[in-house]
Amino acid sequence: MTPYRRIRGFLIRHRGAYALGILALLVTDLAGIYATYVKTDILARLERLLGVGGADPGVRWKLAVLCAVFFGAMLLHAAGRYGWRIFFLTASHRIARDLRMTLYGKLGRLPLPFFHRTPTGDIMSRGTNDLDAIRMMLGPGVLVAVDTIFYLAVVPPLLYVTSPHLSLWIFMMLPVFYVVVRHFQGRVESRWTEVQAQLSVLSVRVQENTAGVRVVKAYGQEEAECRGFDRLLDDTFDKQVALNRVQSVFNPLLVALARSGIAIILGFGGMLFFQGRIGFAELVRFLFFLDLLVWPMMGLGHAIALFQQGAVSLRRLNQILNEEEEERASSAEYKPANDLPALRAITPTGAARQAGEPRTTSHEKNPVSIEFRHLTFAYPGARWPVLSGVSVSLPPHSIMAFVGPVGSGKSTLAHLVARLYEPPRGTVFVGGRDVCDIPLQELRRAVGFVPQNPFLFSDTVRENIAFFDPAGIPHSDVVWAAHAAQFAEEVERLPKQYEQMLGERGVNLSGGQRQRATIARALLVRPQILILDDCLASVDLETEHRILKELHPLLKQTTCLWVTHRVLSTRTADLIVVLEAGRVVEQGSFETLARSGGIFAQMVRRQMAEQKGDAHERVR
């Protein structure tokens, strides 16, 4: 598929601007050509006068009138130029804006696996550099191309009309011209592609190095990193030089070709003049018309470069735009849930109570069941399934803990419920419906998810907690959620409290604070399903215990899927599922499992034993 298909729609949408641009360009170029005609006309009259001698006073008036006509043509030319730039360039910025929004919208519809396999630096480089290259193609590129095409279409006939004889010589040069363009075009394009790709590699390398700086420094790898980076730089250099080699010949060659045309005309035109087969006026006019072609020739090289770079960039951008999307109900079909789900109706204990409970309304959303039926799932490209034959059912109002060794598939289960990864049809059910049949927007707005990695945006505390619906959530609810997540006290100590900017332009929160902020954020969804994906890992035990105690009544009002490593904390769960190598090996209440003598009991025993200091003795 040609990369241009993607922008055809945009071009059509802005056809009005482009049409006006072309019109303005016609005015500009025709006025320019006419001015050239008047100029040569004046010169021809001067030549005729030379023989007569400039005695006639009427001649001066004639000259003055012609000069005035010339100036008028130039004014028109200038006016056209104004319109032409405005129309073409504005249209290109409009398309760039459309493309930016398209890209942004697309990124919002792409599934999580895409972001896992595509480095952020790579996406950014497409969204910035490539987008700009496309705009350059659609603005200055189109402008110069249309201009060149126009001149190439209009000037040769003019040349022919002026002197069929001389124009023959010029037309003979066209094949040479064609061969040169073809020869260089392909080379420039392939080398440009390589340069752009190399830039992405470079970005990824820098990203890893700086994100992993603690490891680099602790293991003293600065030198090795520099060596590795130097090798990359050498590759980049080679590719850049290869591109430079063709580019530096291409443009001057095009110009030289156009100029050699003038040399040819001077030579043969002069001979014809001497033989009396051509008039002076014709020759001068021919030369000036020919000179009109030099600038478009220079522009042609430039336009070709812009188009090639634009095409490469368009292809790179298309790679993202053609990615398969998550299915997502359009916002038009979806009606945001203004009715208040379960959590708002319940009474948080302790500190949260002082913060004032969220308003209750007539509607309340009830928690829904979650069911896994013979779920077998493998990550794309993986050899082995990470889950096999998992069948578990979570009734509403239950807290179910998933424990198990690393890689046993606990987090994967959590991700599949929210459809961050797509489960096979007929395996995961929410409220009795196959999740694959639930519009994503509806599903995700029913789920409160607290991820392992507590990501916050560089925005205010309030915006981050009320992330779900910043305009619709009243401040009192934000305070309530912060209290419920044991985060409020710390927020109130911040200089601007809930209006405090986080991140680079504000304050950086500790890992534990971030985790509690993300819990508050999930609570405000007032979810029917709450998923805690090992989200308290960097909170210490005391805090974890306090948070869990506070949250317990809230959790009970939802269907809670709780992934955790802390076996002993799972006492509060209604049901515990033990996973091993993607299979459910045990399930039951804490007491049952602990007494059963299975894997869970072993895990519990080990921790109990350790805490009693037996292990301590053993090590000693």
Partner 1 sequence: MSGYAEDDEILGQAYDRRLMRRLWRFVRPYRRTVFLALAALAAAQASFLALPFILGCVIDLLQGAFSLSDLTWLPEGVRAACDGLAPAHQLALLVTAYGALVLVCLAASALQSFLTGQMGAEVVRDVRRELFAHIQRLPMSTFDRTPVGRWITRLTNDVVAISELFTTGIVVAFGDLLLLAGIVVVLMVVHWKLALVSLATIPLLAWLTWVFRQQARAAFRRVRMFLARINAYLQESVSGTAVTLLFARQDENSRRFMALVDDHFGACVGSIRIHATYMSLVTVLTGASLTAALGYGGWLVVSGALALGQLVAFLWYLGHFVQPVQDLSDKYNIFQAAMASAERIFKILDTPKEKEPAAEEPGTWDWGLGTESGAESRNRGAAIEFRNVTFAYDADPVLRDVSFSIAPGERIAVVGSTGSGKTTLVNLLCRFYDVQEGRILMGGIDISRAPRAYARSRVALVLQEPLIFSGDAYANIRLGEEGIGEAAAEEAARRVRADSFLGDLPQGFRTVLPERGSTLSAGQRQLVTYARALAFDRPVLILDEATAHVDPETEALIQEGLDTLMKGRTTIIIAHRLATLAQADRILVMDRGRLAEVGTHQELIARGGIYARMHAYQYA
Mark residues 394-413: x for contact with partner 1 by CB under 8 A, - for none.
---------xxxxx---x--
Burial of 613 (0-12, 13-18, 19+ CB in 10 A): exposed
- Asked if 557 interacts with partner 1 (CB under 8 A), we say no
CB 529 within 8 Å of CB 561? yes
Let me know: does 598 contact 578? Beta carbons within 8 Å.
Answer: yes
> Does 78 sit near partner 1 (CB under 8 A)?
yes
For partner 1, the binding residues in 5-24 under the rule CB under 8 A are none
Which member of 9, 16, 157, 270 binds partner 1 (CB under 8 A)?
270
337 is a site residue for partner 1 (CB under 8 A): no
437-456: contacts with partner 1 (CB under 8 A):
440-441, 444-445, 447, 449, 451-453, 455
And the tokens for 176? 């040479």
Among 299, 385, 512, 582, binds partner 1 (CB under 8 A): 512
Nearer to partner 1, 292 or 395 (CB): 292
Query: Measured from the CB atom, is 182 or 214 closer to partner 1?
Result: 214
For 593, residues 6+ apart whose C-beta sits below 8 A from its C-beta are 576, 578, 586, 587, 600, 601, 604
Footprint of partner 1 on residues 85-124 (CB under 8 A)? 85-86, 89-90, 93-94, 97, 100-101, 104-105, 107-113, 115-117, 119-121, 123-124
Considering only 146-154, 355-363, 427-435, 537-545, which stretch makes contact with partner 1 by CB under 8 A?
A: 537-545
> Is residue 236 a contact residue for partner 1 (CB under 8 A)?
yes
Sign of CA dihedral 189, 190, 194, 195: negative
Interface residue with partner 1 among 2, 333, 542, 591 (CB under 8 A) is: 542
Q: Is the dihedral of CA 478, 484, 487, 489 positive or negative?
A: positive
Q: How far apart are CA 43 and CA 45, in angstroms?
A: 5
The two structure tokens encoding residue 501: 């900017």
Burial of 562 (0-12, 13-18, 19+ CB in 10 A): buried
Q: Which is nearer to partner 1, 73 or 300 (CB)?
A: 73
SS3 447: strand
Nearer to partner 1, 85 or 165 (CB): 85
Interface map 276-315 toward partner 1 (x if CB under 8 A): ----x--xx--x---x---x--------------------
* Assigned token pair, 540: 């210490």
Least distance CB 27 / partner 1 (angstroms): 12
Going through 242-369 in order, the beta strands assigned E by DSSP cover 340-341, 364-365
In the complex with partner 1, the residue whose CB is nearer, 359 or 616, is: 616
Does residue 494 bind partner 1 (CB under 8 A)? no
Q: How far apart are CA 32 and CA 15, in angstroms?
A: 25
Output the smallest distance, CB 440 to partner 1, in A: 7
Measured between alpha carbons, how far is 370 from 386 in angstroms, rounded to an integer? 19
Q: Which residue has the tokens 């009243």?
A: 474
Residues 349-378 that bind partner 1 (CB under 8 A): none
Question: How many angstroms separate the CA atoms of 456 and 83, rounded?
Answer: 46
Compute the 3-state secondary structure of the chain and give helix, strand, coil in percent, each to the nearest 5.
65, 10, 25
CB of 223 to partner 1, least distance (A): 7
Q: What is the DSSP string of 190-204?
A: HHHHHHHHHHHHHHH
Nearer residue to partner 1 within complex by CB, 395 or 459: 459
Residues of this chain, 411-440, that bind partner 1 according to CB under 8 A: 411, 418, 420-421, 440
When binding is defined by CB under 8 A, the residue of 18, 70, 286, 372 that contacts partner 1 is: 70
Q: What is the largest CA-CA distance in the chain?
A: 126
Which amino acid is residue 248, in one-letter code? S
Tokens 């496309």, residue? 134
Q: What part of residues 24-43 is at the interface with partner 1 (CB under 8 A)?
A: 35, 39, 42-43
Within 322-397, residue ranges assigned H as helices are: 342-345, 351-354
Q: Is 496 in the site for partner 1 (CB under 8 A)?
A: no
245 binds partner 1 (CB under 8 A): yes
Residues in the interface with partner 1 (CB under 8 A) total 189
CA dist., res. 375 & res. 387, Å (int): 7
Non-local CB neighbours of 144 within 8 Å, separated by 6+ positions: 299, 300, 302, 303, 306
- Using a 10 angstrom Cβ sphere, with 0-12 exposed, 13-18 middle and 19 or more buried, the burial of residue 157 is exposed
Q: How far is the CB of 584 from partner 1 (least distance, A)?
A: 15
Q: Is 253 in the site for partner 1 (CB under 8 A)?
A: yes
Which of residues 37, 467, 562, 590 is near partner 1 by CB under 8 A? 467
Q: Which residues from 469-488 bind partner 1, rule CB under 8 A? A: 469-471
Beta 575-580 vs 399-403: how paired, if at all?
Answer: parallel
Residue 596 interacts with partner 1 (CB under 8 A)? no
Contact mark string toward partner 1, 140..179, x via CB under 8 A: ----------------------------------------
Question: Which one among 8, 15, 67, 476 touches partner 1, defined by CB under 8 A?
Answer: 67
Kindly state the smallest distance separating residue 540's Cβ from partner 1, in Å: 5
* Residues between 173 and 232 with contacts to partner 1, criterion CB under 8 A: 199, 202-204, 206-230
Among the listed residues 5, 263, 339, 474, the single contact to partner 1 using CB under 8 A = 263
Is 402:396 a contact under the CB 8 Å cutoff?
no
Helices (H), 53-163: 57-109, 112-117, 120-125, 131-136, 142-162
